Amino acid sequence: MPQTITPWVLLVVSLPTSSATARMRIWRGFKALGCAAIRDGAYLLPASAEREQALQALADECQREGGSAWLMAVEPRTADENEAYRHLFDRQSEYAELRKAWQEANAGLASLSPAELARLQRKQLREFDALRAIDFFPGEAAAEAEAAWADLNKRIESLLSPGEPQQTEGRIPRLKITDYQGRLWATRRRLWVDRAASAWLIGRFIDKEASFLWLAKPSDCPEGALGFDFDGAAFSHAGDRVTFETLMASFGLESDGALMRLAKVVHVLDVGGEPVPEAKGFEAVMSGARERLTDDDALLAEMSTVLDSLYAHFLRETAASQHKAAAR
């Protein structure tokens, strides 16, 4: 079967000599796009409308800085020539460097605090995502890196939240709040984001007379207690929901726009996802409180104040947004 000839786009530039800052900025732009340098000033990419637009933006910047630029379409004459172009985008060495960094990071994971582990996890994922974005012809090296990342990520998760629940599928039944009053609720001790936020949600919106038990291990949960945020608990991760979101769905709290905003903060800090502006600050406060307070009752009390404030902030923003929409 004959090999498909890949269309290519080539930008030839003469970079300005007057500004080292501009030259560096333009060069970083080429690097971020994953361009292959054919020679000094000639940058190649597999053709696509998005990449052509990005190269045009760099060409325009180069011209604004006093340089020159020519953007052109390129078509290999033979399959061998096409393969030679593709070889310029071999990312094996870059994946190898990334995996080496993961191995080095793995050796010191156990000594890191939860906040440091979370930051490391996000940093490594950003770097991996950046490489995958410019791996236009992924092969075996990409597959091996995916497997290595899965292993590293699993270890980080196990250290970040020992006994962290695994996702379960299935419909979340709607429950009556009146049936869950004055109950004993239990979760793993040394609270982190999802557990702390879930306990706050229970005491604030579900069971105002709740009492809490902090477990050394999930198997210590006594009969009659309502477990949350561990495997086999009454309330835990379900589908793509973290425990906080499962509790909201179970007790019909998803109509509260401010709680939904808060749920996004908890979700991204617990399992990742779309960045939320308030998440980094909440994580910093939670990490600091966790360092200062060894008693989980005291930790929940302090973080409840923070969560009350965040909820009030989201409540005001949600009301303002609704008022603005109604006025249109």
Q: Would you say residue 172 lies in a domain?
A: no
Instruction: Supply the mean pLDDT for the chain.
Output: 88
Estimate to the nearest angstrom the gap between the alpha carbon of 71 and the chain centroid.
35
Q: Would you say residue 168 lies in a domain?
A: no
Q: Residue 1's pLDDT is what?
A: 39
pTM: 0.54
Q: Would you say residue 170 lies in a domain?
A: no
Q: What distance in Å separates the CA atoms of residue 157 and residue 60, rounded to the nearest whole number?
A: 44
Q: What distance in Å separates the CA atoms of residue 313 and residue 100, rounded to the nearest whole number?
A: 43
Residue located via tokens 């706050």: 200
**Residue span of the structural domain in which 16 resides:** 8-87
Higher pLDDT, 104 or 300: 300
Domain ends where: 67, 87, 107? 87
Tens digits of residue pLDDT in 268-279: 888 887 889 999
Q: Give the domain CATH number at 52.
A: 3.30.70.240
Q: CA triplet 208, 209, 211: central angle to 5 degrees?
A: 115
Q: Would you say residue 165 lies in a domain?
A: no
Q: What distance in Å separates the CA atoms of residue 148 and residue 142, rounded to the nearest whole number?
A: 10
Q: Are 188 and 323 contained in the same domain?
A: yes
Count of domains forming the chain: 3
Domain ends where: 134, 160, 186? 160
Q: Are 78 and 113 contained in the same domain?
A: no
Q: Are 138 and 187 contained in the same domain?
A: no
Q: Are 52 and 124 contained in the same domain?
A: no
Q: Residue 221's pLDDT is what?
A: 93
Q: Are 73 and 96 contained in the same domain?
A: no
Q: Are 215 and 100 contained in the same domain?
A: no
Q: Would you say residue 109 lies in a domain?
A: yes
Higher pLDDT, 258 or 109: 258
Q: Would you say residue 2 lies in a domain?
A: no
Count CA atoms closer than 13 A to 243's CA, side-chain side.
Answer: 29
pLDDT class of 108 with cuts at 50, 70, 90? confident
Q: Are 81 and 106 contained in the same domain?
A: no
Q: Residue 166's pLDDT is what?
A: 52
Q: Are 195 and 286 contained in the same domain?
A: yes
Q: Are 292 and 274 contained in the same domain?
A: yes
pLDDT class of 163 with cuts at 50, 70, 90? low
Domain ends where: 87, 107, 134? 87
For the chain, state the CA radius of gyration.
Answer: 26
Cβ neighbours, 10 Å, residue 254? 13
Q: Are 182 and 323 contained in the same domain?
A: yes
Q: What distance in Å separates the CA atoms of residue 317 and residue 59, rounded to the nearest whole number?
A: 42
Q: Residue 327's pLDDT is what?
A: 67
Q: Residue 14's pLDDT is what?
A: 87
Q: Are 46 and 104 contained in the same domain?
A: no
Q: Are 142 and 275 contained in the same domain?
A: no
Q: Would you say residue 167 lies in a domain?
A: no
Cβ neighbours, 10 Å, residue 305? 12
Q: What distance in Å separates the CA atoms of residue 282 and residue 134, rounded to the nearest whole number?
A: 33
Q: What distance in Å separates the CA atoms of residue 200 and residue 208, rounded to the nearest whole number?
A: 10
Residue 257: both structure tokens together: 């726009």
Q: Would you say residue 287 lies in a domain?
A: yes
**Greatest mean pLDDT among 6-10, 167-171, 258-262:** 258-262
Higher pLDDT, 110 or 46: 46
Higher pLDDT, 40 or 183: 183
